[in-house]
A = this chain, B = another copy of it.
Amino acid sequence: MRDLDISEVAARTGVAASTLRFYEEKGLIASIGRRGLKRLFDPSVLERLALVSLGRAAGFSLEEIAQMFAADGRAKIDRDLLAVKADELEQTIRRLIALRQGLRHAAICPARSHMECPSFRRLLRAAADGALPPAANGVAKKKAKKRPKRA
């Protein structure tokens, strides 16, 4: 496969060109050269981006991800770290399950007011105790932009 220019990478991964530049700046990906001014990417960048996407989904920050890559050239991912993240994820999952249960119940609860529902009050107590997940901050409105063709 030929080298890819930025718009091809964007099209094939669904990652905006601006984001790709940003990632390069952060050391998450690398362009293999330029044609004139324009970046050229090796096709392997696609895999790399998948890895980034995976890392993000797993709750790693861009910086953490960059460090995994930075360790040495080849994506050297610390297995212990993975296990730790998996455990964290497990915690989160448990909490979310409890929460979902609570919500479902609240949604169909016959009590006149939620406040009269013991189940809801229990959930409330849990929330007050901080036993529920912290709730992702600063999540901007997804403006449902074009999700480009999947290659």
Contacts and interface: CB of A to CB of B under 8 A. Distances in A.
Interface in A28-63: 46-47, 49-51, 53-54, 56-59, 61
How many monomers of this protein are in the complex? 2
Interface string A19-32: 00000000000000
Interface residues of A, number: 62
A86 to B, nearest CB: 4
A121 to B, nearest CB: 9
7 contacts: A50-B127, A57-B135, A58-B99, A58-B135, A79-B108, A82-B107, A137-B140
Contacts of A97: 93
B100 A86 contact: yes
Main SS class of interface, A: helix
Contacts of A128: 13, 46, 49-50, 53
